[in-house]
Amino acid sequence: MSIEIKNVTKKYPGYTALDDITLNVQTGELVALLGPSGCGKTTLLRIIAGLETADAGSVILEDRDTTNLPAREKNVGFVFQHYALFRRLDVFENVAFGLRVRPSGSRPSKSEIRDRVEYLLKLVQMDWAMKRYPSQLSGGQRQRVALARALAVNPKVLLLDEPFSALDAKVRQELRRWLRKLHDDIHVTSIFVTHDQEEALELADRIVVINKGRIEQQGAPQEVYDHPANAFVYNFLGNVNVFHGRVKDGKVLVGDKLIEAGPASGIHGAFDGQAFIRPHEIGISRIRSSANDLSGFIRDIRLMGGQIGLELETKAFEKPIEAEIPREAWRNLQLSKGDEVFITLDRVKVFTGDYEI
Amino acid sequence: MPPFNRNKRHILPGFGLSMGYTVFYLSAIVIVPLATIVIGAFRMDPQAFFATVTSPRVLASYRLSISTAVFAALFNALFGFLAAWTLVRYRFPGRRVLDALVDLPFALPTAVAGICFATLYSPVGWIGHYLDKTGIQVINAPSGIVIALIFIGFPFVVRTVQPVLAELEPEIEESAQSLGATRWQTFRRILLPHLFPALLTGVTLSFARAIGEYGSVIFIAGNLPLKTEIAPLMIMSKLDQFDYDGASAVAFVLLLISFSMLLVLNAVQRWQQKSYR
């Protein structure tokens, strides 16, 4: 089922949660709404689900305008951040709930309900826990039950509101992959909200980056990551170093070095801009490889697992530069605190104007 | 509960002292006074005991006390629940004032309440003179007793249901709705089972309070023998006649009734809770 969101606006006293949002989701797609907290992404999800009403605009599910339908008539599956399972019902009854409350005409028979619930619990690998109560399950297990419960009513679309953010890192990653696989199997059109860029990049077919109630960019994860439309998107998708610099004729003056402003920028004329570079895009070497290399000292080394984080002090910049190199490279270079290194910033991206996160 | 183990070290210090204090305090405040009633009742000649507690006046008073307390508790269950709902779920000007007013029956001397009701419902009172025309009798009648008992039991239900209702996340209801449940189904299948233990506790307390209420009732009940005499009044009148044994006998039965009621309700609650915890 496709979802069409047209010019949806939602204002609260004092601020605008959603400002004229238009978004299409294709049948079977898994879309991530990514943005910082308070950017309006959850509000949008709740409007689609009918748990909140839009001030203007419309939500069309499969050619049907559902803007003003109450939640219970939308036939939308909703998974909450904190599971929202029914504590007084066991796992089986939680999943069966949506089927049991149907009007008697369309309610499936007892054996049909049993079959459906058992099928779904098998699907989410929770069939062993049918008689358990939510309080006896871990967070990850609860969220899987919540997912089965949402799927029980054969929803047109599945909406997930930060489904993994209450779980610890390991379980989160596991469940993320598992959800991706589940989606590949059942292909229900899904939108999930997250503020975790890694989650969005790994899980989604398409990412919609939202900030302050507006869509900043949308596209495939790779595309958004490699070709961010603006400074906000670039910044939000990962760690960055920011340099303020003067841009002229496709080059940017960063400190006292003039660096190519990157192929995507295509900028002519002179203006003040910001240059961004991700820590892992910074080149580190013991010897000067070009005249554009900055020289600096290693102020601190952080072991981050597979990657090694370096804090580099340079004459040109007040703030230290954050760099990341693979553990291999770190070992080969035999770097230690206080060593002098040469820093290559060739891969900077330039965006116009000042930008505030 | 695991069996009590004397050798087990408690993480919290001071168990011996605080346990000793608790036992002493409970003994001094609850068990010893109640024991005097039991002892008094047992000291009596069994035949005299039976004759006292089965005399028509005493039996009628038990019947009246229990039935009015049940009515009042049921009434409070419904309207106390509604009040708790209103106070938790809606935001309106004056909510805090209303919230504070709920506790007033706790704080007010019950005799004051009794006088208020007696004035209000007397044949010349504000409400009483309308009732007088329609022929409904409140003063000197069981219905008057029920009104007084509703008044004094009301805060119990509100105050037990309110916090449970407040901690229930709105997401629970939202998820029920997005699964297609109507408002009524959400209430019936999700909210009510969740609130039931608290409601039961409130009703129990309200009932227990009503059984023993004296001050507010005697002003409105009229205390007509066999008609509007409540059980505590029977004890009072026996004491007035220096019939201490008779008073103990009546009190003993009242104690048994209250205690067994509390036990039954407790059992219901345990059975209800066992299923999901």
Tell me whether residues B177 and A102 touch, CB distance under 8 A. no
Q: Which residues of B touch A73 (CB under 8 A)?
A: 180
In DSSP terms, which residues pair with A344 in a beta bridge?
Answer: A283
Residues of B in contact with A88 (CB under 8 A): 190, 193-194, 275-276
Q: Is residue B139 part of a domain?
A: yes
State whether A111 and A217 are in the same domain.
yes
The rounded distance, in Å, linking the Cα atoms of B77 and B200 is 8
| Chain B nearest C-alpha distance from A129 (Å) | 13
Nearest CB partner across the interface for B178, out of A71, A82, A102: A71
Of A49, A77, A101, the CB nearest to B185: A101
Closest CA to B51 of B249, B233, B243, B244: B249
Residue B36 lies in a domain: no
Q: Name the DSSP class of A75.
A: -
Which residue do the tokens 């019936």 mark? B188
**What pLDDT, on the 0 to 100 scale, is given for residue A266?**
47
Q: How many residues are recorded in chain B?
A: 277
SS3 state at A38: coil
Domain for residue A189, yes or no?
yes
Residue at which a domain ends, from A192, A218, A235: A235
Is-contact A62 A156, C-beta < 8 A?
yes
Q: Are residue A68 and residue A162 in the same domain, yes or no?
A: yes
Q: For residue A193, what are the contacts with CB-CB under 8 A and spacing of at least 6? A: A32, A33, A41, A42, A44, A45, A160, A161, A162
Residue with tokens 């950017």: A39
Residue B49 lies in a domain: no
Per DSSP, the three-state class of A60 is: strand
Spatial CB neighbours of A320, under 8 Å, sequence gap ≥ 6: A299, A311, A312, A313, A314
Under the banding of pLDDT at 50, 70 and 90, the label for residue A33 is very high
Residue A18 has pLDDT above 50, yes or no: yes
| A156 touching B (Cβ < 8 Å) | no
The number of folded domains in chain B is 1
pLDDT for B67 equals 92
Is A269 inside a domain boundary? yes
pLDDT digits (tens, 9 = 90+) for A201-225: 999 999 999 999 999 999 999 999 9
Average per-residue pLDDT for chain A: 87
* Antiparallel, parallel or unpaired: β A30-34 and A206-211: parallel
Q: Quick one: tokens of A149?
A: 């419960």
Task: Give the count of beta carbons closer than 10 Å to the beta carbon of residue B38.
Answer: 15
Q: Give the angle subtended at the CA of B147 by the CAs of B145 and B150, to the nearest 5°.
A: 110
**At A43, which CATH number?**
3.40.50.300
Could you tell me if B152 and B216 are in contact, meaning their C-beta atoms sit under 8 angstroms apart? yes
A357 belongs to a structural domain:
no
Nearest chain A residue to B184 by CA distance is: A101
Residues in chain A: 357
Per-residue pLDDT of chain B (277 residues; tens, 9 = 90+): 455 555 566 677 888 888 999 999 999 998 888 888 888 888 888 888 888 888 888 899 999 999 999 999 999 999 999 999 999 988 889 899 999 999 888 888 888 888 888 888 887 778 877 877 787 777 788 888 899 999 999 999 999 999 999 988 889 999 999 999 999 999 999 998 888 888 988 998 898 888 888 888 888 887 888 888 888 888 888 889 988 888 888 888 888 888 888 888 788 878 776 655 4
Contact B180 A87 (CB under 8 A): no
Calculate how close chain A gets to B102, using CA atoms only, in Å: 29
- Tokens 């909406």 belong to residue: A159
Residue B56 lies in a domain: no
- Chain B contact probe: residue of A45, A53, A72, A92 with most B CBs at under 10 A: A72
Distances (CA, A) of A41 to A16, A241, A328, A332: 12, 26, 40, 44
Chain A residues near residue B172 by CB distance under 8 angstroms? 84, 86
Closest to A212 (Cα-Cα) out of A356, A27, A48, A95: A356
Q: By the 8 A CB rule, do A283 and A254 touch? A: no
Are A199 and A282 found together in one domain? no
- CA–chain centroid gap for A188, Å, is 19
Q: Token pair 């302050």 is at which residue?
A: A212
Is the minimum CB–CB distance between A49 and chain B shorter than 8 Å? yes
Residue of B nearest to A100 (CA): B181
DSSP B111-139: HHHHHHHHHHHSTTSTTHHHHHHHT---T
B226 or A18, higher pLDDT: A18
Cβ neighbours for A7, distance < 8 A, ≥ 6 positions apart = A20, A21, A22, A56, A57, A58
Which backbone phi and psi does A347 adopt, to 5 degrees?
A: -95, 25
Instruction: Give me the residue label for tokens 């309080």.
Output: A135
Residue B188 sits in which domain range? 67-243+257-274
Q: What is the pLDDT of residue A267?
A: 52
Whether residues B169 and A77 touch (CB distance < 8 A) is answered with no
> pLDDT-derived band of residue A272, with 50, 70 and 90 as boundaries?
confident
Structure tokens at A27: 């049948």
Residue B46 lies in a domain: no
A162 and A250 belong to one structural domain: no
pLDDT at A77: 92
The residue segments making up the domain with residue A340 are 239-352
The count of structural domains within chain A is 2
Query: Looking at beta carbons, which residues of chain B come within 8 Å of A102?
Result: 180
Three-state secondary-structure class, residue A317: coil
Which candidate in A89, A97, A151, A154 is best for mutational testing of the B interface (most B CBs within 10 A)? A97
Residue at B30: amino acid letter? V
- Can you tell me the distance from the alpha carbon of A135 to that of A91, in angstroms, rounded to the nearest whole number? 10
Instruction: Tell me whether residues B179 and A51 touch, CB distance under 8 A.
Output: no
**Residues A78 and A200 occupy one common structural domain:** yes
CA angle A175, A176, A182 (to 5 degrees): 85
Pull the structure tokens for residue A207.
């990412």
Please check whether residues A167 and A84 belong to one and the same domain.
Answer: yes
Cα distance from B274 to chain A (closest Cα, Å)?
10
Whole-number Å distance between alpha carbons of A119 and B82? 40
Q: Is residue B89 part of a domain?
A: yes
> What is the reported pLDDT for B7?
58
Q: Suggest the residue from B167, B179, B272 to mutate for an interface test with chain A (most A CBs closer than 10 A).
A: B179
Q: Is the distance from CB of A346 to CB of A229 less than 8 angstroms?
A: no
> What pLDDT does residue A93 have?
94
pLDDT at A357: 39
> Is position B73 within any domain?
yes
B235 part of a folded domain: yes
Confidence of residue A170 (pLDDT cuts 50, 70, 90): confident
Tell me if A309 is assigned to some domain.
yes
Tell whether A248 and A230 lie within a shared domain. Answer: no
pLDDT, residue B208, reads: 87
For A242, the enclosing helix (H) or strand (E) is strand A241-248
Domain harbouring B183, CATH code: 1.10.3720.10
Hey, is the C-beta of A10 within 8 angstroms of any chain B C-beta? no
Model pTM score: 0.78
Q: Are residues A211 and A247 in the same domain?
A: no
**Which of the listed residues A235, A261, A282 is the one where a domain comes to its end?**
A235
Q: To 10 degrees, the CA torsion angle through A218, A219, A220, A221?
A: -40
Helix (H) or strand (E) holding A312: strand A307-314
Domain final position from A210, A235, A260 = A235
Q: Is some CB atom of chain B closer than 8 A to the CB atom of A90?
A: yes
A326 touches B at CB < 8 Å: no
* Same domain assignment for residues A286 and A209: no
My answer on whether A152 and A84 are in the same domain is yes
Chain B hits for A132, CB-CB cut-off 8 Å, are none
Task: List all residues 6 or more positions away from B107 whose beta carbon is below 8 Å from its beta carbon.
Answer: none
The answer to whether A87 contacts B276, with C-beta atoms less than 8 Å apart, is yes
Please give the full DSSP string across chain B, using - where no structure is assigned.
-PPP-TTPPPSSS-HHHHHHHHHHHHIIIIIHHHHHHHHHHHHS-HHHHHHHHTSHHHHHHHHHHHHHHHHHHHHHHHHHHHHHHHHHH---TTHHHHHHHHTHHHHS-HHHHHHHHHHHHSTTSTTHHHHHHHT---TTSHHHHHHHHHHHHHHHHHHHHHHHHHTS-HHHHHHHHHTT--HHHIIIIIIHHHHHHHHHHHHHHHHHHHHH--HHHHHHHTT-TTTS--HHHHHHHHHHTT-HHHHHHHHHHHHHHHHHHHHHHHHHHHHHHHTT-
Please give the Cα distance from B56 to B229 (Å, whole number).
Answer: 11
H/E stretch holding A48: helix A41-49
Is pLDDT of A264 > 50? no
Q: Do residues B77 and B85 lie in contact, with contact meaning Cβ atoms separated by under 8 Å? A: no
* DSSP alpha helix (H) spans, A75-204: 91-100, 110-123, 139-152, 169-186, 197-203
Q: Are residues A224 and A122 in the same domain?
A: yes
A231 and A269 together in one domain:
no
DSSP state of A63: T
